[in-house]
Amino acid sequence: MASRLGNWLDERTGWRGDWTAVFLRKIPKVNWAYTLGSATLFALILQFVTGILLTLYYVPDPEQAYASVDYITNELPLGWLIRGLHHWGASAMVLLVILHMVRVIIYGAYKYPREVTWLTGVVLMLVTFAFGFTGYLLPWDQRAFWATVVGTEIGAVVPLIGDWLKELMLGGPEISGLTLTRFFGAHVWVLPSVILLLVGIHIFLVIRHGISAPPKRNN
């Protein structure tokens, strides 16, 4: 029965070819450094799952944001665990994506024909940093407030577009409720949409070109 159903679906979707291309493809003999990309993907999935759970209770309002975070951390059953996984998972993801990029540079995996794979990886790293920056403000405490002040002032020194960039991030001349709303919207809607698209392209290119073999030493 299962075989007949599988054949029926394969005739209409070609899923067996996709399964073979993704999960049964041949890869060169590699070392543990090659698991950094998969580890980064796992961290991203963890961020999505815990982030969705947090949005069920978080209130992106200046009057209630801190109280909602406090409720999640101290009163909601297992809320401390979900928030802790999201907080430390964000730090782990930043570390993993940097290590992954360093591995690619050291092993020369950015060279032909993987230049576009490398470029999508660079953009993914920048989006990961943007996730960390926008998420840092959401607890709406003193540390988050002043860290955001520093971050937006750094953006203000960008040549030509600095003032415009700062106002775009803040929604005005200084941090306000609109800033919190913009950061929340970017964190839960804009950046996730961008990163899902880029991850899809990145994984497709990895499957298309295969995993680069470690460089060989010249005897």
Q: For 32, which DSSP code?
A: G
Is 205:215 a contact under the CB 8 Å cutoff? no
pLDDT for position 161: 93
Is the model more confident about 1 or about 16?
Answer: 16
Mean pLDDT of 130-148: 96
Return the residue matching tokens 């998972």. 89
In a domain, 17, yes or no: no
d(CA 11, CA 9): 5
DSSP 70-86: HHHHHTSTTHHHHHHHH
Local confidence band at 26 (pLDDT 50, 70, 90 cut-offs)? confident
Mean pLDDT of 45-54: 98
Instruction: Name the domain count of the chain.
Output: 1
Is 138:65 a contact under the CB 8 Å cutoff? yes
Give the dihedral sign, CA 105/100/96/203: positive
In a domain, 82, yes or no: yes
Is the model more confident about 2 or about 191?
Answer: 191
In a domain, 173, yes or no: yes
In a domain, 149, yes or no: yes
Q: For 215, which DSSP code?
A: P
Give the residue numbers spanning the domain of 141. Answer: 30-209
In a domain, 16, yes or no: no
Q: Over the range 84-99, which residues count as b (16 or more CB within 10 Å of their CB) and which as e?
A: ebbbebbebbbebbee
In a domain, 84, yes or no: yes
Torsion over CA of 205, 209, 210 and 214, rounded to 10 degrees?
-110
CATH code, domain with 196: 1.20.810.10
Local confidence band at 31 (pLDDT 50, 70, 90 cut-offs)? confident
- What's this model's pTM, rounded to 2 decimal places? 0.91
Local confidence band at 45 (pLDDT 50, 70, 90 cut-offs)? very high
pLDDT for position 218: 65
In a domain, 23, yes or no: no
User: Residue ranges of the alpha helices (H) in 35-176?
Assistant: 36-55, 65-74, 79-107, 115-136, 142-156, 162-170
In a domain, 216, yes or no: no
User: Tens of pLDDT along 101-111?
Assistant: 999 999 999 99
